[in-house]
Amino acid sequence: MLNRREFVKSIGAMAASATALGAFATAQAQARGGAHVVVVGGGYGGATAAKYLRMWSNGAVRVTLVERERSFVSCPISNLVVAGVRQLDDITLSYDNLRSKWGVEIVTGEVVAIDVARRQMQLADGTTLNYDRAVLSPGIDFLPELIEGLAGNEELLPHAWKAGPQTALLRRQLEAMEPGGVFAIHIPGVPYRCPPGPYERACVAAHYLKTHKPGSKLILLDTNPDIQSKKGLFMTAFNELYSDVIEYRPSSTLRRVDAQARRLELEFDTLEADVVNVIPPMRAGRIVDQLGVPLVNDRWVDVEWLSLEVKGAPNVHVLGDALFPAPAMPKSGHMANQHAKVAAAAILNLLAGREPNPTPVVMNTCYSFVDDGSAMHVASVHQYDVEKQTFLAVEGSGGVSTAASHLEGQYALVWAKNVWADMLA
């Protein structure tokens, strides 16, 4: 019987090798093409796509990566920064290897317009980029306007759901809170980026409060009627580790905030807290509005899953959190990394005049910490279904931890280092 480490390694190797072989078969055919692919967004999806397009084409495809930030900051592991277990520098990485090792052209800037018919992008500085194929991995944007009083108040009520300055801000607010204070977290309705993330944040923050701010409370307000991922494991943590700290309140829809008073007006209650972390409702990064296609629920991009090409926007592929998810497919960094490999292989096939791989397989592994060192995981494998034209979870694949442990905490940190290397090294 495979142990946990061997299982993940074997599944990951099979998924990666199957995709890689499909891409390698087209590399020589594409070598004479000189095509240009522009990738927008340098996160788990975009950085991976840029690297693998160059690697699998043996450098034959020109790749330009447009990213607003000069460094990559990881959302996975960022909750440990909020809790003071890690520093922001620990989750910040350079794009230099993409440029120096893989030959990706890095443009620090922002795309403000896309002309799908002309295959052109315009940057904020007036630069125009022509492309043969485009990959958009814009992540998520927020909809604070859906909660009265929230828009414009993220410095008082930080979301910390895009790693970086907001992460550091929420950390500072927790450090400044007096012992015996109240920390409130509000979770939006699904779908949102990283289903287990808010519950992990509650656990690691509760560990910090219990250790450094005696008598403090954490109120976890969830729009959803129940915990959205690893329910049994999180409930165990809430009840056995933090019964004197965490109060979990499901079905808590947030209607209005008073940012100055740090007051939350819920559907059936009102709450004031010393530190308030409101995670707003989400949608696809707004650059997708330039594609001129309808969004699912006015929020998410619909794609042909074999290539991740946008329905109604030829030659444009969208990855990661911006997508309307396939059944049981989470919005996670690992999944965005997998989307990137499927899209990269499909793009090389399409540029060579061939069809995408008809049977792609992707996987997901997501770790969550419950204190400063113990973690648990959930894993899944997803196979493309020809009849339904989407990815479906493979029955019996993956699984979930039986309990959180320090060993899994070590696995979680190794997972992060490995996926960062896969993207950027």
Q: Which residue has the higher pLDDT, 364 or 15?
A: 364
What are the tens digits of pLDDT across the range 284-308? 999 999 999 999 999 999 999 999 9
Per-residue pLDDT at 26 exceeds 80: no
> What does the pLDDT average to over 14-21?
43
Q: Can you give the pLDDT at residue 69?
A: 98
| Domains of the chain in sequence order | 4-141+284-358 (3.50.50.60), 144-278 (3.50.50.60)
Per-residue pLDDT at 224 exceeds 90: yes
What are the tens digits of pLDDT across the range 228-274? 999 999 999 999 999 999 999 999 999 999 999 999 999 999 999 99
Mean of the per-residue pLDDT values of the chain: 93
What are the tens digits of pLDDT across the range 368-378? 999 999 999 99
Q: Can you give the pLDDT at residue 282?
A: 98
Per-residue pLDDT at 29 exceeds 60: no
pLDDT band at 33 (very low <50, low <70, confident <90, very high): low
Per-residue pLDDT at 6 exceeds 70: no
What SS3 string covers the chain? CCCHHHHHHHHHHHHHHHHHHHHHHHHHHHCCCCCEEEEECCCCCHHHHHHHHHHHCCCCCEEEEEECCCEEECCCCHHHHHCCCCCHHHHEEECHHHHHCCCCEEEECCEEEEECCCCEEEECCCCEEECCEEEECCCEEECHHHCECCCCCCCCCCCCCCCCHHHHHHHHHHHHCCCCCEEEEEECCCCCCCCCHHHHHHHHHHHHHHHHCCCCEEEEEECCCCCCCCHHHHHHHHHHHCCCCEEEECCCCEEEEECCCCEEEECCCEEECCEEEECCCEEECHHHHHHCCCCECCCEECEECCCCEECCCCCEEECHHHECCCCCCCCCHHHHHHHHHHHHHHHHHHHCCCCCCCCCEEEEEEEEECCCCCEEEEEEEEEEECCCCEEEECCCCCEECCCCEHHHHHHHHHHHHHHHHHHHC
Per-residue pLDDT at 220 exceeds 60: yes
